[in-house]
Amino acid sequence: MPKTILVVDDEPDVVRYFKTLFEDNGYRAITAMDGVEAMQKIRTEHPDLVTLDITMPNKTGVRTYRDIKENEELKHIPVLIVTGVQHEFKNFISSRSQVPAPEGYLEKPVALDDVLAEVRRLIG
């Protein structure tokens, strides 16, 4: 059974790009357009990895990340932050004392090889 990756981004082109990339490389990809939908899918689909944008409507990636990492049943799921937010954001999110640093971090625009390398590092 292929490993499942939840792609969370409010840009339809990015979602399609990642979904295709992951499926072409043997993963099962599911999608969410914001943090509210992401949390619903995490609870019902139990993904092996979440790729998470930061700037989204309804519920930001920061809040979604905190909700994942503060939940005993969900905090084991690795999160790969994929964002266009400036590089300083990596230092910010990694320095939060309430939650651990994200397992992976990539800045948009991302190269296919970099995304796949991170996914393989995190879930094989």
- Report cis status (omega within 30 of 0) of the bond before 109: yes
Torsion of CA 48, 53, 58, 59, to 10 degrees: 60
| pLDDT for 116 beyond 80 | yes
Rounded Cα gap, residues 68 and 35, in angstroms: 10
Asked whether the beta carbons of 101 and 94 are under 8 A apart, the reply is yes
| pLDDT for 72 beyond 90 | yes
Whole-model pTM: value is 0.91
What is the average per-residue pLDDT within 102-123?
94
Let me know if 100 is exposed, middle or buried by CB neighbors in 10 A (0-12, 13-18, 19+): exposed
Domains of the chain: 4-123 (3.40.50.2300)
